[in-house]
Amino acid sequence: MEIVLQNPRRYREAAAGRVRPWLEQVMAALAPGAASLGVRFTSDAEMRRLNARHRGQDRTTDVLSFPGGPTADGRHLGDLVIAVPQARRQARAAGHGVARELRALLLHGLLHCLGYDHETDRGEMRRRERRLRRRWLDD
């Protein structure tokens, strides 16, 4: 499994050493057949541009998911983009650490790449995410 992490603004909470070990474990459990995943940690401004371009919503959001597909090397699970400043605000509001919030956003994005859609699936993704949060986010 190849996990490509991009952190061009060098957000300390999103450093590869903090994110990669947890993400490798989750990927092995949820998508053992996937060959690759891309993750980009970004600013609110970049996220706002991406959200406007891909979803028609001119505002920042916390995570965007772009499901992948078959490649010559196997199945690319997809690409996730996470706005770290937004994650910081959400963590502060929820009363937990930014690392936990980033893991929650990664998990949410992974579920989208696995085909779940909370806007159309009658609660299936929410139930699955709740169970996975108990397993993967409880500190």
pLDDT tens string 11-69: 999 999 999 999 999 999 999 999 999 999 999 999 999 999 999 999 999 999 999 99
Please say if the pLDDT value at position 139 is more than 60. Answer: no
pLDDT tens string 112-137: 999 998 888 888 999 999 999 999 99
> Angle of helix 16-30 relative to helix 124-136, nearest 10 degrees?
120
pLDDT of residue 119: 82
Between CA 67 and CA 89 the distance in angstroms is 26
Phi, psi of 7 (to 5 degrees): -140, 65
Pick among 3.40.390.30, 1.10.1060.10, 2.70.70.10, 3.50.50.60: CATH of 2-136: 3.40.390.30
pTM as predicted: 0.95
